[in-house]
Chains A and B, each alone.
Chain A
């Protein structure tokens, strides 16, 4: 009777463990769908090695989890008070057992420490022949300066595939944190300090990221994208960025917008090569070549630009760009001008 009960419980326990393991794997597998910032879909050699470490730790944790939770549930069910008159044996401890479950976890952790420390040092090593990009965090957008290529842009980081990119991380105000989960682990952008991230992409595509250190009112609206391109596409992009945009035709809507840009105060904050030298906001020389704006929270299209220009702090609380009180026609003209900045 007792024996049968025990085997029954054992089978049940095995089934329960299997359910937990399969359930967990399915849960984690299912969550990868359409999640562009998924750390479990690594797309670079570095994030793949991090991912490997995570899964190693995860499965070790699953074993401990199943063991502890299993024993806990088992103990409470098996040893519950069934009304027997006898009191239990008063065990006060067992030095050998306790030593055992001190040493066993220590050994497991010791084994995890090796690949951890190895990976820490490997990730820290600098890579040969990189493209240098200085990444500067601002409330609430990212600035990128391609120091070797003479390109300045914002929010969307272009990088050629299969090429080392060395990001130098800085901040212009408070602490931010730069991260593109599928390409590299995060690093804080600290004012007065310089940090580096080794970036590398393998496949063309758009990779999403987001500021991950609370940086004020619109921390949630400080996003970024990394656009990985083939060498040719990247070269073409660089060439385009280095060209000055053509001046709008006189008398056109765009020309009206160009004049508004210079008279309404825009030029005080924004740089457009050959037009203005403002340093507060993003460089707009090729703004319409970007796919998003306002900290990558809005897709680049005339409707969104209209929404933005009519009241920036309403769209992005805490934005340094004030409501300029532009009329509908002024906004239309400015958009026409911005559309020429490709």
Chain B
């Protein structure tokens, strides 16, 4: 390359696009910046969180008293199906993906993910999949077969409308998004770590993300197969689930739960990772038992594949199979318990700054423990035959997925908000939100344990009086509105934050690399690729230990450019970045066209969709992945070794 002098932002045109992202809406539509994509994930998922929450409020309004008639049976079945589907596929998964996208490259000292355009494609496919599924509300009715979609209830004979079709195709599209995201993050984590960041120096959030992405990589194909079978049944009468044609009704359930149980860990592991970052920072101590935390996370990842049939204890497994899955289910509680005790040990003896992220993380530990304990009662198979498909189960998984994942994700939101937006969220409002959420959460889901033990089934749109369920249902309904209030406080907090003072690079005196760069980070993240010499590298640039093992600030304090990544405009101007592209968005839209065509069996539309996707991917493949840049510059930017405390 000879034309070194040409400024990069001078290369415009269809195939020579600017290294600097376009401003405004077009910039967001074409971005391949992992940070912007992370924010898109988080923002979109939060909107779906509000929608799924409104669905939950409708459910609670209906069940607040006996013989409720806020909505009809038909509407209720759509609402509860979409509530579950939304919260799992459109909220917790993309929120985790959002944090992973934003934070993982920063934590491992990378300038972007491995496949930036694939990353954009993953986000747009998720957004398109979510909108596609929600378009069903306008097109004759939303999915109504439950998030688990048991066949034969979901075959054409029993669900003749297009409701289930939207569910099937929506999930297929979302599956593509998850798979591409998983591949991208796995490659990023394995290949793009900064020099010196060995696997056992990786922040635990990166580890848990890695495990979750491997679970996705292997679990999504299973549900994809199941959905294809159901799709062929519904479109072409393929008889995979047609009982009269000799199908076995348990085929769907096995496939679904072989996906479904690892899915639970896909939902919880990233939140566990967040908590494992937040607790050390605010206790001012390293994570207790880092390697055990890594091993237990990986162990959960493996064992998560051996427990699926505990969702099926009432389906007629033989006593030997029941015993085996009972024991495996009990065993998976062991690595989970180890994590909880290690978190407690991290807190114990620390110097705990009681901030909102810490409270949210403690909320996770406290509430997730309850969910874990009720989970053990499901392993007691005979007891499970009394509990399964009752509100006891609803209580259990809300303690895991709300008490666990959502509390953990809010901890992450409060923790990383200053990094993402350069402003602090109000701690006072945050604590108010935490208090409301904790109270509302326990008021809503605590009584579900009692209701379930009193025999209240799940997925009923109404119940009669004189079952003894009125009081606790009423309490739960009030609790759900308190949760809604707490989310409102969060929204207010976010809106108000624009007026608060700018956050420094390292407002929490934190431990990991994302806090060594400015808030918000520059487009290229690190002007100088960091050289990692320790786990919690940033902390060790600031502190050392005295003979008693106490942390003491390094004396004399190192110059700030040795702790933080400082740069001048000249350094920044030469950094090579992947170029924006609109082809990922275009390819994603093609998926929706194809799916609409298949649902309505409009074959020309199917053809158009297929051509659309192929065309978009072809154009994507042909455009140069990056604007031309000069190896010389990149080499010049190779990091200088930074001296860091051991």
- Interface residue ranges, A against B (CB under 8 Å): 27-28, 31-40, 47, 49-50, 53-54, 57-58, 61, 64-65, 68-69, 71-72, 75-76, 79-81, 84, 86-94, 97-98, 101-102, 105-106, 109-110, 112-113, 116-117, 119-121, 123-124, 139, 173-175, 177, 179, 181, 185-188, 190-193, 195, 208-221, 297, 317-318
The segment from B18-26, B120-128, B376-384 that touches chain A is B376-384
Asked if B450 CB lies within 8 Å of chain A CBs, one says yes
Q: Which residues of B contact A191 (CB under 8 A)?
A: 152, 243, 249
Cβ contacts A to B, 25 pairs, < 8 Å: A38-B454, A50-B386, A54-B377, A54-B383, A61-B377, A65-B370, A71-B344, A72-B347, A75-B347, A87-B351, A88-B550, A90-B285, A90-B550, A91-B288, A92-B286, A101-B337, A102-B292, A109-B333, A109-B376, A113-B327, A121-B323, A174-B152, A185-B314, A186-B388, A219-B460
User: Nearest Cβ distance between residue A331 and chain B, in whole angstroms?
Assistant: 23
B314 touches A36 (CB 8 A): no
Task: Please report the C-alpha to C-alpha distance between residue A213 and residue B314 in the assembled complex, in whole angstroms.
Answer: 10
Task: Please report the C-alpha to C-alpha distance between residue A124 and residue B317 in the assembled complex, in whole angstroms.
Answer: 11
Q: A186 touches which one: B283, B347, B389, B462 (CB < 8 A)? A: B389
Q: A79-B352, A97-B345, A105-B334 are in contact. Are A57 and B365 (CB under 8 A)?
A: no
Task: Specify the chain A residue showing the minimal Cβ separation from B543.
Answer: A87
Q: Known A-B contacts: A61-B373, A75-B352, A105-B338. Give 8 more (CB < 8 A).
A: A50-B386, A75-B350, A76-B358, A79-B352, A91-B285, A109-B331, A191-B152, A210-B455
Q: Which residues of B contact A65 (CB under 8 A)?
A: 369-370, 373
B250 touches A75 (CB 8 A): no
Asked if B353 CB lies within 8 Å of chain A CBs, one says yes
Q: A76-B347, A116-B382, A185-B314 are in contact. Are A58 and B377 (CB under 8 A)?
A: yes
User: 1/0 per position for B548-567, CB-CB distance to A under 8 A?
Assistant: 11111000000000000000
Tally of chain B residues near chain A (CB < 8 A): 100
Asked if B135 CB lies within 8 Å of chain A CBs, one says no
Task: Please report the C-alpha to C-alpha distance between residue A116 and residue B464 in the assembled complex, in whole angstroms.
Answer: 34
B385 touches A186 (CB 8 A): yes
Task: Please report the C-alpha to C-alpha distance between residue A38 and residue B90 in the assembled complex, in whole angstroms.
Answer: 35
B457 touches A69 (CB 8 A): no
B468 touches A36 (CB 8 A): yes
B289 touches A219 (CB 8 A): no
Task: Please report the C-alpha to C-alpha distance between residue A91 and residue B462 in the assembled complex, in whole angstroms.
Answer: 54
Q: B74 touches which one: A110, A119, A212, A217 (CB < 8 A)? A: A217
A88 touches B389 (CB 8 A): no
A31 touches B450 (CB 8 A): yes
User: Nearest Cβ distance between residue B437 and chain A, in whole angstroms?
Assistant: 17
B382 touches A119 (CB 8 A): yes
User: Nearest Cβ distance between residue A275 and chain B, in whole angstroms?
Assistant: 29
B467 touches A208 (CB 8 A): yes
Q: A90 touches which one: B319, B463, B545 (CB < 8 A)? A: B545
A72 touches B351 (CB 8 A): no
Query: Which of B291, B316, B323, B461 has the most chain A CB atoms inside 10 A of its CB?
Result: B316
Asked if B198 CB lies within 8 Å of chain A CBs, one says no
Q: B349 touches which one: A47, A58, A68, A91 (CB < 8 A)? A: A91
User: Nearest Cβ distance between residue A110 and chain B, in whole angstroms?
Assistant: 8
A185 touches B385 (CB 8 A): yes
A38 touches B292 (CB 8 A): no
A181 touches B365 (CB 8 A): no
Q: A101-B338, A188-B315, A318-B73 are in contact. Are A214 and B459 (CB under 8 A)?
A: yes
A116 touches B326 (CB 8 A): yes
Task: Please report the C-alpha to C-alpha distance between residue A317 and residue B348 in the assembled complex, in whole angstroms.
Answer: 56
Task: Please report the C-alpha to C-alpha distance between residue A297 and residue B386 in the assembled complex, in whole angstroms.
Answer: 22
User: 1/0 per position for B319-333, CB-CB distance to A under 8 A?
Assistant: 100110011001101
B386 touches A181 (CB 8 A): yes
Q: A35-B455, A94-B289 are in contact. Are A105 and B385 (CB under 8 A)?
A: no
A33 touches B453 (CB 8 A): no
A89 touches B455 (CB 8 A): no
B249 touches A175 (CB 8 A): yes
Q: B382 touches which one: A71, A80, A185 (CB < 8 A)? A: A185
User: Nearest Cβ distance between residue A74 and chain B, in whole angstroms?
Assistant: 8
Q: B469 touches which one: A35, A86, A117, A124 (CB < 8 A)? A: A35
